Amino acid sequence: MNVDSKNVPQHIAVIMDGNGRWAKRQGLPRIKGHEAGAESVRAIVRGCREAGVKYLTLYAFSVENWVRPKDEISGLMSLLRTFLENNENELHENQIRLRIIGRINDLPALIQRGLKRAMKATQQYTEGELILALSYGGRAELVDAMKAIAEQVKRGELKPAQITDETIAAHLYAPDVPDPDLMIRTSGEMRLSNFLLWQLSYAELYVTDVLWPDFREEHLQAAIEAYSKRHRRFGDVG
Ligand code: FPP
């Protein structure tokens, strides 16, 4: 890849969109699009490792996705289970830590058990982090943070005047993970869709028309190259 390593993002977040459209175009049921999307997940985890991206956050299931047809939800859940079963070895081989952000307690008990076990088994790894957003919503995350902060205030451990950006950041689901530098969304939609609302404040956004099941390493490289040419000013004059 033609990018100086200092210009490679440390953290990439992805809205993996377009699985349904991909399936429809081929006359297949939606779940086939999600299955093909799981292959893209494997390719992109590998691509990030090779490019030197340390953190990868994937929007796999939103708090809003619970309204989808029951068979699509159960299909996605079993896909998640098989994905974990088939890919945990690769996490160990490459010393990648698996983390979940979201309301994990909303997930089926069997999935929760599998996720918690895999998170525990990989928690010591520091080569990279794969963060799956599951039953995740940016507003829900902020609501959960506000509730925890309000409890601290109620117990007299914190004064409202002491609340800063850092206080809120410290109560997010993965407080030690640095904010994403680059957010990629596939399938051409120009929306944040309630993804990492706090953390994406200064992220560079990259939208591609490629549908998620077609997204491969070359598309990831194109996104990283585009990112490497951006000038991030963080409110300064640059
Ligand atoms: C959005 O496409 C995609 C999802 C809601 C699910 C993402 C899930 C995967 C890629 C599968 C497996 C994930 C892991 C981590 C193993 P959409 O269904 O909204 O597509 P559409 O907008 O074209 O209908």
The atom number, within ligand 1, closest to the CA of 62 reads 5
Pick from 44, 105, 108, 115: which is nearest to 84 by CA?
115
Angle at 71 between CA 89 and CA 216, to 5 degrees: 45
In the reported structure, the alpha carbon of residue 152 is separated from the centroid of ligand 1 by a whole-number distance in angstroms of 37
How many angstroms does the Cα of residue 230 sit away from the middle of ligand 1? 28
Give the Cβ contact number of residue 193 at 10 Å. Answer: 13
- Contact 72/31 with Cβ under 8 angstroms? yes
What tokens appear for 201 in the block? 């404040």
Cα dihedral sign for 105, 109, 113, 114? Answer: negative
Q: What angle do CA 167, 134, 216 make, to 5 degrees?
A: 110
Active site residues: 17, 65
Task: Using the structure block, give the residue that is written with the tokens 């029951």.
Answer: 70
Mapped onto helix, strand or coil, the DSSP state of residue 133 is strand
Cβ contact 153:159 at 8 Å: yes
> Cβ < 6 Å from ligand 1: which residues?
16-21, 34, 37-38, 41, 58, 60, 65, 79-80, 83, 132, 212
Q: How far is the CA of 34 from the centre of ligand 1 (A)?
A: 5
Instruction: Note the pLDDT of residue 238.
Output: 65
The residue to mutate among 16, 41, 62, having the most atoms of ligand 1 within 8 angstroms of its beta carbon, is 16
Q: Which residue has the tokens 């058990």?
A: 113
The best mutation among 14, 25, 34, 104 to test binding of ligand 1, ranked by most ligand atoms within 8 Å of the C-beta, falls on 34
Contacts of 229 (CB under 8 A, 6+ apart): none
pLDDT tens, per residue, the chain with 238 residues: 678 888 999 999 999 999 999 999 999 999 999 999 999 999 999 999 999 999 999 999 999 999 999 999 999 999 999 999 999 999 999 999 999 999 999 999 999 999 999 999 999 999 999 999 999 999 999 999 999 999 999 999 999 999 999 999 999 999 999 999 999 999 999 999 999 999 999 999 999 999 999 999 999 999 999 999 998 788 888 6
Report which ligand 1 atom has the smallest distance to the Cα of 211.
23
168-188 b/e (C-beta count within 10 Å ≥ 16 → b)? beebbbbeebebbbbbbbbbe
**CATH number of the domain located at residue range(s) 10-137+179-228 in this protein:** 3.40.1180.10
CB atoms < 10 A from the CB of 128, how many? 18
Token pair belonging to 71: 């068979």
Shortest-distance atom of ligand 1 to CA 22: 23
Atom 6, ligand 1: residue with shortest CA distance: 60
Candidates 211, 224, 230; CA nearest to 48 is 224
The strand pair at 204-207 and 182-185 is best described as parallel
CA separation (Å) from 30 to 20, 74, 93, 184, 211?
5, 12, 32, 22, 13
